[in-house]
Copies of this chain bind each other. A is one copy, B any other.
Amino acid sequence: MDGEATGAVEASAPDRVARHLRARITEGRFPPGGHLSEGALGQALGVSRNTLREALRLLCHEGLVVHELHRGFSVRELTVDDVVDLYRSRRLLEGAAARQCAEAPPAARLAVVDAARLGDDEAARDDWEGVQTAIMRFHQAVAGLAGSRRLDESMRQILAELRLAFHALADPDRVLPPFVDRNRVVADLVLAGAGARAERELVAYLDEAERAVLTAFGRRGGTRPVGPTVGADAAG
């Protein structure tokens, strides 16, 4: 996704910090609802409070972090409404993109197929984290069928936010496989240029995924009252 050489420099400090924190949050190291102390984090990352604030504000704008005046920043905790909203967005965005697949350039369609195949491979070797990533790649590729950088970006943000909910998901080996199979079906339809059918299949897929997340969510993470403050060991 960010195709630069990424030698860690050649990007402003706030950008680097934001990237770092984004990774930590989406990988679940910083628990949703957890408070992000400026003092502790700044010291742990070796940047000034000002720089850290800029980074946090960015993440805030992306929806991964929440800011309350005079109370500081904390990792966003998705509500049920948020999940519903996110899946509504996905149905519209991915659905519409899939529908137009016949007009998409072949490279974009192949990207969809590749991602689906990758998911199969990872599932075959029981790498469930890899499967998660492949699924993300797949849906990003579906959105990519629309051929718009801005929609790609929107999709990226939606998936990043949604990842906050995925942490509540347990038993990946039981939950994920059906979705991988369905991805293959969608991918084949996309490759064939069957837009309408691809959309229908995809929307059904998303409905089911939404249901799965919502149930796992109600059981586990829905309204955790408060998370611990996250601080020191952030630099890892």
Contact = CB atoms under 8 A, between A and B. Distances in A.
A12 to B, nearest CB: 6
A151 B92 contact: yes
Contacts of A121: none
A199 to B, nearest CB: 10
A148 interface: yes
A63 B151 CA distance: 13
Instruction: Name, among A69, A93, A97, A146, the residue most crowded by chain B CB atoms within 10 Å (CB to CB).
Output: A93
Interface string A95-121: 111001000000000000000000000
A226 to B, nearest CB: 23
Interface SS, A side: helix
A195 to B, nearest CB: 13
Given A92-B96, A92-B97, A154-B154, A69 B148 contact: no
10 contacts: A11-B69, A50-B50, A54-B57, A61-B61, A88-B151, A92-B100, A92-B146, A92-B148, A92-B151, A93-B93
